[in-house]
Amino acid sequence: MPKPENIIGKGFDKRPQNINRKGRPKLPDIREAMAKVLADEKDGMQALEAVLKALRAKAVKGDVRAAEVLLDRAFGKATQQVNANIKSETPIFTPIDLDVPE
């Protein structure tokens, strides 16, 4: 069966040019980027200090989320206690007796 005219000589290119051979460009390290941004100075104050002061001002005005962010960063997130006092008449685990030949 002969090939149709529109595909004669149209094979796959061995090395197409539209392929990104280097892959996706690497993103910058987020910690380095944050450190760089927060270390910027304006009017003698670092950006980190300005952010913390703004959060403090919001927290003092009653913004609960701002207070939560400040307290979580300063003292760590609050732990939640779990009561594990379990009293049961039946044992939770039943030992299995395995006959192992010696």
pLDDT category, 7, cuts 50, 70, 90? low
Residue 9 has pLDDT above 90, yes or no: no
Question: Quick one: tokens of 44?
Answer: 């003698």
The kind and range of the H/E element at 41 are strand 41-42
CA distances from 58 to 19, 55, 69, 77 (A): 50, 5, 11, 19
pTM, two decimal places: 0.50
Check residue 72 and give its pLDDT: 92
Give the pLDDT confidence of 34-50 residue by residue, as tens digits. Answer: 899 888 998 888 998 99
Q: Where are the domains of the chain?
A: 42-77
* pLDDT tens figures, 60-90: 999 999 999 999 988 888 888 887 777 767 6
